[in-house]
């Protein structure tokens, strides 16, 4: 890759819109549901799947289900996004935390 191409790619990456929100990971074999929050929804699935494949995910029940049932039984879904007002406010972390708690309660999921 040429230096100019790399610089353009890095600049485009930095300028992309980052969406924060809530996601769900479901194991269809065990019918377990984990609910998580992320400041950047576009990267969280790859991060989770990588740690699970390596056997190093910090959420014990999620790692155990992955090991027992395999990757093909897992789904990933974005279930809510912060609004532009919430995402740009200084209390973004608090808004994300509150939304996360609401979804855990509503869907009776396991916190991750």
Q: What is the pLDDT of residues 31-78, one digit of tens each?
A: 999 999 999 999 999 999 999 999 999 999 999 999 999 999 999 999
pTM exceeds 0.85: no
Residue 112's closest CA among 69, 76, 84?
76
CATH topology for 3-111?
A: GIY-YIG endonuclease (3.40.1440)
Mean pLDDT of the chain: 91
- Residue 54 and residue 9: Cα distance in Å, rounded? 29
Phi first, then psi: give them for residue 91, nearest 5 degrees: -100, 35
Return the exposure string of 23-38: e unless at least 16 CB atoms fall within 10 Å of the residue's CB, then b. bbbbbeeeebbbbbbb
The domain limits of the chain are: 3-111
Tell me what pLDDT residue 87 has. Answer: 56
Tell me what pLDDT residue 86 has. Answer: 60
């Amino acid at each position: 890759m040429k230096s100019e191409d790399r610089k353009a790619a890095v600049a485009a990456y930095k300028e992309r819109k980052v969406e924060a929100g809530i996601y769900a990971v479901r194991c269809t074999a065990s019918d377990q549901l984990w609910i998580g929050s992320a400041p950047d929804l576009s990267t969280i699935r790859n991060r989770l799947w990588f740690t699970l494949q390596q056997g190093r995910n910090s959420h014990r029940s999620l790692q155990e289900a992955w090991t027992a049932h395999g990757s093909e039984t897992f789904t990933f879904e974005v279930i809510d996004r912060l609004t532009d007002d919430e995402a740009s406010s200084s209390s973004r972390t608090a808004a994300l935390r509150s939304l996360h708690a609401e979804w855990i309660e509503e869907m009776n999921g396991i916190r991750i």
